[in-house]
Amino acid sequence: MEKAREMTDFHELAGKCLRCGLCTIVCPVHQVEADEYTAARGRNLLASRVGGRRDFDKEFRKRFEKCLICGSCLDQCPQGISIDLLTLGVREQMVREKGLGLAKRAIFRYIMRDRERFGKVLRLAYRLQRYLPAGEGKIRHLPSFLSALGAGRRIPEIAPVFLRDRVTVVSSPPPGVETRIRVGLFMGCSIDYIFPEIGRKMIRFLNRHGVEVVTPMEQGCCSLPVIGAGDLKTGRAMAERNARAFKDLDLIVTGCATCGSALKDYGTFFGRGEDSGEMFLRFAHKIRDFSEFLIRDLDLQPEAFASGGRKWNDLKTTYHDPCHLRRYQGIAEEPRTVIGSVPGVELIEMEGCDECCGMGGSFGLSYYDISKKIADKKAAAVKETGADAVVTTCPGCRMQIIDTLGRNEMKQQVLHIADLLEP
């Protein structure tokens, strides 16, 4: 889905709102909280009245934080308002007027912006995570004193060895396999630091099908957490780093729906009226989701998924559409084509497969009680299918679904689509 939207003054966008309320019907937060100002209609009204610094009080800030940026409301709006960009515009203005809090300022500008420093902090966190209560497998529980990060949330362990330390910069096809194409791999934070096995499986599968994979170590965070918090200045610096890291590559593949959406939107976030706008637009056109690349670019046929790799025996799966893949990138059929082509795997569609899981990055941490209620609907839909496993293409959604299935005492595996293809 090509996007021609630009970051626009939020007053202009808010002024187009008809107050019809169609957004309230589909807003996942409004459905569980029933506060008029947590749906787009209410926030649009607040945004239209913003004048200066004094308007950004604590209640105003919370209402604009309580948006998942899931895009559920976008197709419902008869005016075609880019409600997501309106919300981000308000958050950006709040940062300009009020600044970032101390914690976010330290995390975004001191830690996440510097990939080497970020890695050092997470290596320290890896050593400390042993003191958290352990759950099943590699899942640990955040104790109640970390309430700001979501008391009781099940979170996967930080990996003992990061993806960047497990792979070479260039991974070539094995002997006897002709190189068809050369692509870059955008790791993202979750795959680099928490789920490195996903990245390794993607590389192995691509190599087996004639793809040379280049993983520039200069790359960093996609910057969406920073953009979502309204710190576009820091987000832009991070985006420039990524664009430079991949400047010599024509295609870039990612296994994270959220990262893919952010990277494709660099032109939207940073391209208006800037000399580097063309650079961001060119970069955005290089980005491919893993499933998108396999089906659209490599044009793999069903037999390609039957040769080598992982073997399954009557695995019943259901698929969760990440918001950042289906709504923001228009990719829905490609993952299903991949899943349906894997021998021994059956796809059973769940009700509300495209409804938000409630993670929304920092939303799922800051507003965990609301996030849980949204996710519980997803757990009920999974249970109804009778599937053995839930497949998704977003590590963030994967973490959320792991958490909600665990809380609901459900035993389904939660897999990334790459897990279906490689052992």
Q: For 186-222, what is each residue's pLDDT tens digit? A: 999 999 999 999 999 999 999 999 999 999 999 999 9
| Rounded Cα distance, 3 and 250, in Å | 20
Structure tokens belonging to residue 270: 């940073």
Over the range 212-244, which residues count as b (16 or more CB within 10 Å of their CB) and which as e? ebbbbeebbbbbbbbbbbbbbebbbbbbbbbbe
Q: What is the mean pLDDT of the chain?
A: 91
CA distances from 308 to 45, 204, 292, 421 (A): 56, 11, 21, 9
Segment 268-292 shows an average pLDDT of 86
Compute CA 412 distance to the chain's CA centroid, rounded to the nearest angstrom: 22
Check residue 353 and give its pLDDT. 98
| Rounded Cα distance, 315 and 327, in Å | 28
User: Is 393 in contact with 290 (CB distance < 8 Å)?
Assistant: yes
Structure tokens belonging to residue 11: 């007053």
Choose the weakest-confidence range: 97-101, 227-231, 281-285, 418-422: 97-101
Q: Which CATH number fits domain 306-420: 3.30.70, 1.10.287, 2.50.20, 3.40.50?
A: 3.40.50
pTM exceeds 0.85, yes or no = yes
Structure tokens belonging to residue 418: 């790459």
Q: For 327-355, what is each residue's pLDDT tens digit? A: 999 999 999 999 999 999 999 999 999 99
Transcribe 75-132 into DSSP letters. GG-TT---HHHHHHHHHHHHHHHH---HHHHIIIIIIITSHHHHHHHHHHHHHHGGGS
Over the range 324-347, which residues count as b (16 or more CB within 10 Å of their CB) and which as e? bbbbbbebbebbbbbbebbeebeb
Segment 42-54 shows an average pLDDT of 85
Segment 13-30 shows an average pLDDT of 94
User: Is 361 in contact with 350 (CB distance < 8 Å)?
Assistant: no
* 1 pLDDT higher than 50: no
User: Is 190 in contact with 224 (CB distance < 8 Å)?
Assistant: no
| Rounded Cα distance, 256 and 289, in Å | 7
Domain 10-98 has CATH 1.10.1060.10: yes
Q: How confident is the model at residue 103 (pLDDT cuts 50, 70, 90)?
A: confident
The helix (H) or strand (E) run that includes residue 391 is: strand 389-392
Segment 23-33 shows an average pLDDT of 94
Q: Token match 């670019």: residue?
A: 297
The helix (H) or strand (E) run that includes residue 170 is: strand 170-171
Check residue 222 and give its pLDDT. 96
Q: Name residues whose C-beta falls within 8 Å of residue 169's C-beta, 6 or more positions apart in sequence.
A: 214, 215, 216, 217
141: β partners: 154
User: Is 56 in contact with 91 (CB distance < 8 Å)?
Assistant: no
The one-letter amino acid code at 101 reads: G
Structure tokens belonging to residue 226: 């920073």
| Rounded Cα distance, 256 and 207, in Å | 19
User: Is 391 in contact with 320 (CB distance < 8 Å)?
Assistant: yes
* 155 pLDDT higher than 90: no
User: Is 397 in contact with 322 (CB distance < 8 Å)?
Assistant: yes
| Rounded Cα distance, 259 and 190, in Å | 10
Q: Is 77 helix (H, G, I), strand (E, B) or coil?
A: coil
Where do the domains of the chain lie?
A: 10-98, 306-420
Structure tokens belonging to residue 155: 């979170």
Structure tokens belonging to residue 110: 């001191």
To 5 degrees, how large is the angle CA 412–CA 414–CA 416? 150
Check residue 390 and give its pLDDT. 98
| Rounded Cα distance, 372 and 403, in Å | 9
Segment 381-409 shows an average pLDDT of 96
Check residue 28 and give its pLDDT. 96
Residue 401 DSSP class: H
Check residue 3 and give its pLDDT. 45
Q: Token match 């961001």: residue?
A: 280
